């Protein structure tokens, strides 16, 4: 696997040695997100929304990523960030990756209106490269930038905010990844913590913007992946394709190649398990079974659930999938 991608293998090996095999792909994805503004020719870039239980290396992988790239390439946003504070301090980000290492704390300290404005402003910035503010009494001000974003959040907060705040518009711009470490992995880390903390990455990661010469050859295959990702993540096929395209640009840049190979397809396969919310593992199966023509009752029975009690959950998932363009 990844036979033509020595740098990717090196990064995976580093995160694996330090934090474990389950965490390693999250570390690689964050590195690719930091490269994305410099590898992409158009927005959206590869944006990562990292969801896992508390104390399962979300902040550590972000901090490690920051140490592996040039300081001028990223901004670590503080927990008191608002759209107005960003506008006052930056005006123009240029090409950057923006880190929100603890979105749970960020949201907990904000009013509903401030949170909604922050989410809406970031959505515009990630999609259009700008956010404008102004009314009749004030001159229009504009915040611009060609940016990617890496956001960390606990499962509890994600479940609280996903439907009523983050919803379709914001999360559509992200590759949302989930994991939940088994107890034996946490125990192993704690038993070897002292030696693991001595492991250090040496140097800064280099990359080269790719001029992809064989994208059209793989386009239909990538569309198939986008459809599969759509069912796993309950997001639109278009949004999934955007993130796949940006991911491939960043991966080629990291490994200084101009041609898509089996490595990129292997990477997409590696990521697929991370698209499934471990606290709602049946959702992708519900969508897959619906696409295959099964009735709601049949879906319940296949999942070994009582139709009388579980059909509401099936309808809830299917309605959500219809709202997001995942199914017709």
Reported as a single tens digit per residue, the pLDDT across 294-305 is 999 999 999 999
Model pLDDT, residue 166: 87
How would you classify the pairing of strands 130-133 and 141-153?
antiparallel
Model pLDDT, residue 286: 96
Give me the DSSP letters along 168-192. HHHHTTSEEEE----HHHHHHHHHT
Query: Residues 155-171: pLDDT tens digits?
Result: 999 999 988 888 768 99
Query: Residues 224-247: pLDDT tens digits?
Result: 999 999 999 999 999 999 999 999
Model pLDDT, residue 177: 98
What is the distance, to the nearest Å, from the Cα of residue 273 to the centroid of all Cα atoms in its chain?
Answer: 13
What is the distance, to the nearest Å, from the Cα of residue 21 to the centroid of all Cα atoms in its chain?
Answer: 18
Say if residues 42 and 127 touch (Cβ distance below 8 Å).
no
| Cis before 17 (ω within 30) | no
Model pLDDT, residue 110: 87
Say if residues 217 and 210 touch (Cβ distance below 8 Å).
no
Residue 29 neighbours by CB under 8 Å, 6+ apart:
46, 48, 175, 177, 247, 271
Model pLDDT, residue 239: 94
pLDDT digit string (tens) for the chain, length 328 residues: 899 999 999 999 999 999 999 999 999 999 999 999 999 999 999 999 999 999 999 999 999 999 999 999 999 999 889 998 998 899 899 999 999 999 989 998 889 899 999 999 999 999 999 998 766 556 568 999 999 999 999 999 999 998 888 876 899 999 999 999 999 999 999 999 999 999 999 999 999 999 999 999 999 999 999 999 999 999 999 999 999 999 999 999 999 999 999 999 999 999 999 999 988 899 999 999 999 999 999 999 999 999 999 999 999 999 989 988 899 8
Model pLDDT, residue 163: 81
CA distance 184 to 102: 25
Model confidence, pTM: 0.94
Query: Residues 114-132: pLDDT tens digits?
Result: 999 999 999 999 999 999 8
Rounded percentage of the chain residues whose pLDDT exceeds 90: 86
Backbone angles phi, psi at 52, to 5 degrees: -160, 165
Model pLDDT, residue 139: 59
58: how many CB neighbours lie within 10 A of its CB?
Answer: 26
Model pLDDT, residue 165: 85
Model pLDDT, residue 91: 87
Model pLDDT, residue 135: 61
Say if residues 248 and 264 touch (Cβ distance below 8 Å).
yes
Model pLDDT, residue 185: 96
Judge: domain 6-193+208-216, CATH 3.40.50.300: yes
């Amino acid at each position: 696997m990844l036979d033509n991608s020595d740098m990717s293998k090196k990064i995976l090996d580093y995160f694996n040695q330090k934090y474990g095999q389950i965490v390693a792909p999250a570390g690689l994805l964050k590195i690719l997100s930091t490269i994305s503004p410099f590898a992409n020719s158009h927005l959206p870039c590869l944006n990562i929304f990292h969801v896992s239980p508390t104390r399962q290396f979300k902040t550590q992988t972000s901090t490690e990523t920051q140490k592996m790239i040039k300081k001028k390439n990223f901004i670590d946003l503080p927990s008191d960030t608002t759209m107005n504070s960003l506008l006052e301090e930056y005006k123009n980000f240029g090409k950057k990756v923006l880190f929100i290492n603890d979105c749970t704390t960020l949201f907990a300290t904000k009013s509903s209106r401030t949170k909604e404005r922050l989410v809406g402003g970031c959505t515009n910035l990630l999609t259009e490269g700008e956010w404008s503010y102004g009314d009749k009494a004030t001159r229009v001000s504009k915040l611009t930038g060609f940016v990617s974003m890496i956001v960390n959040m606990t499962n509890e907060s994600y479940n609280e905010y996903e439907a009523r705040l983050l919803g379709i518009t914001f999360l559509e711009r992200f590759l949302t990844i989930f994991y939940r470490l088994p107890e034996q992995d946490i125990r192993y880390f704690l038993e070897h913590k002292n030696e693991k903390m001595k492991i250090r990455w040496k140097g800064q990661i280099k990359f080269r913007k790719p001029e992809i010469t064989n994208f059209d050859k793989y386009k239909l295959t990538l569309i198939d992946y986008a459809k599969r990702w759509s069912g796993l993540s309950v997001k639109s096929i278009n949004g999934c394709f955007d993130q796949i395209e940006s991911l491939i640009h960043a991966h080629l840049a990291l490994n200084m190649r101009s041609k898509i190979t089996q490595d990129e397809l292997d990477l997409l396969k590696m990521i697929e398990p991370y698209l499934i919310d471990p606290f709602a593992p049946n959702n992708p199966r519900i969508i897959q079974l619906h696409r295959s023509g099964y009735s709601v009752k049949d879906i319940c029975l296949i999942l070994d659930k009582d139709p009388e009690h579980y059909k509401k959950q099936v309808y809830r998932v299917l309605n959500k999938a219809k709202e997001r363009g995942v199914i017709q």
